[in-house]
Amino acid sequence: MISIIIPVYNTAQYLNQCLESVASQRYTDWECILVDDGSTDNSGDICDKWGKIDNRFVIIHQKNQGVSAARNHGLERSNGEYICFIDSDDWVGPEYLEDLLKGLEVESISLVSTGIIHHLTDGTIKHYQVDQKKVLSMDSSHVKAFIDVIGLFYGPTSKLYFRSIINEYNIRFPYNYSLGEDLIFNFSYLKHVNKVVCLPFSNYHYIKGVSESLTTKERDDLFHNQYTLWKIQKSFLQEKNMWNELSQRFFYIKLWELVHTGAFSVNYSLSKVKSVLSINEIATLKKYKSSYNCSEWMKFLIIHRLYVVIYLCNRFIKRRK
């Protein structure tokens, strides 16, 4: 049996479509745990309605504690051999579970991933998936292949997890992150996985732009939040003996982007700009500066940690706006 976990918070506009898509699955041996996280609209009533329609829907109501707490509560109540996640403002095609289960045909597999269909606000639809089945070993032999698809492992949807692995290593979504808790969960899980499979199917429909706004506090903490996620991935690659020249180049270019964006944020105070340039890796970035595309004078200021000059530039730019 598959346990589907859906955290619900004020998504009444989308919820019926989401739950209808679950009820329409071709694979029928599932339970769907709906965790109403203190919704103030009628999302809770919609959950209760579906619980009466189909007893495979298990309804939990809790005080508002955030998406991590809701997913963790769902994990604690799950009974299936496998776990998958759906967000309550998205929906899935009828083959969603069926296609995820196809990954179990690969010997010794511990995680299955499929693609995602992004519905953009301008009406554009984009598919994010592999072109053909990829079986990846979490070791030095598949570094390039893993880097090529690493974006698929930043979120919990379109995945089939083993509940035994989650329980054995007490893997949970962290409570103290407002951004990136999904990535932390996935890389905590991947630490205990030797082989994953990515399948060329996309049956998960994600509405780009829904539930994506950041609070002022989250924007202020954005660099150090993303830097922490960067270090988590680096630590994972080092632990799996995958931190070679190829992965280092990829991740230090990503770090260049984070530092550049963070340091030249016009909303940052002098102390925040200084904190961005205080990270240990600034010296290492010099090795990869030719691979990152931004103005040479900006690179010079970053590499030499000239945070006062950068702050003054930011103030000038902000006043010009």
Do 106 and 119 touch, CB atoms closer than 8 A? Answer: no
Which residue's structure tokens are 């690493």? Answer: 150
> Residue 157: which residues within 8 A CB-CB, separation 6 or more?
84, 85, 86, 87, 90, 116, 204, 206
Confidence of residue 218 (pLDDT cuts 50, 70, 90): very low
| 151/33 same-domain check | yes
Do 111 and 163 touch, CB atoms closer than 8 A? Answer: no
Rounded CA-CA distance 88/9 in Å is 8
Confidence of residue 215 (pLDDT cuts 50, 70, 90): very low
Q: What is the distance in angstroms between the CA of the first residue and the CA of the last residue of the chain?
A: 56
Instruction: For 103-141, write each residue's pLDDT tens digit.
Output: 999 999 999 999 999 998 888 899 899 999 999 999 999
pLDDT average, residue stretch 163-191: 93
| DSSP string of 69-125, one letter each residue | HHHHHHHHH--SSEEEE--TT-EE-TTHHHHHHHGGGSTT--EEEEEEEEE-TTS-E
Give me the amino acid identity at 40: T
> Residue 39: how many CB atoms within 10 A of its CB?
20
Instruction: For 263-293, write each residue's pLDDT tens digit.
Output: 998 888 999 999 999 999 999 999 999 999 9
Q: Look at residues 207, 232, 264 and tell me which one is the last residue of a structural domain.
A: 207
Rounded CA-CA distance 10/27 in Å is 28
Instruction: For 143-160, write each residue's pLDDT tens digit.
Output: 999 999 999 999 999 999
Q: Could you give the number of structural domains in the chain?
A: 2
**Nearest CA-CA partner of 166 in 238, 78, 62, 37:** 78
| 199/287 same-domain check | no
Burial class (CB in 10 A: 0-12, 13-18, 19+), 54: exposed
**Nearest CA-CA partner of 150 in 65, 233, 208, 213:** 233
| 100/160 same-domain check | yes
| 228/180 same-domain check | no
Q: Look at residues 182, 207, 232 and tell me which one is the last residue of a structural domain.
A: 207
Angle between helices 222-239 and 181-190 (to 10 degrees): 10
Q: Look at residues 167, 190, 207 and tell me which one is the last residue of a structural domain.
A: 207
Residue 210: per-residue pLDDT: 57
Residue 219: per-residue pLDDT: 55
| 202/233 same-domain check | no
> What does the mean pLDDT of the chain come to?
93
Tokens standing for 247?
A: 């992965």
Q: Give the domain CATH number at 126.
A: 3.90.550.10
Instruction: For 33-87, write each residue's pLDDT tens digit.
Output: 999 999 999 999 999 999 999 999 999 999 999 999 999 999 999 999 999 999 9
| 173/108 same-domain check | yes
Q: Show the domain range for 172.
A: 2-207
Helices marked H in 149-295: 163-168, 181-190, 216-220, 222-239, 245-263, 270-276, 282-285
> Residue 154: how many CB atoms within 10 A of its CB?
13
pLDDT average, residue stretch 241-246: 96
CA angle (176, 234, 167) in 5-degree steps? 55
Tokens standing for 162?
A: 């083993």
| 177/272 same-domain check | no
| 263/180 same-domain check | no
| 185/55 same-domain check | yes
Residue 211: per-residue pLDDT: 54
| 104/155 same-domain check | yes
Q: Is pLDDT of 102 > 50?
A: yes
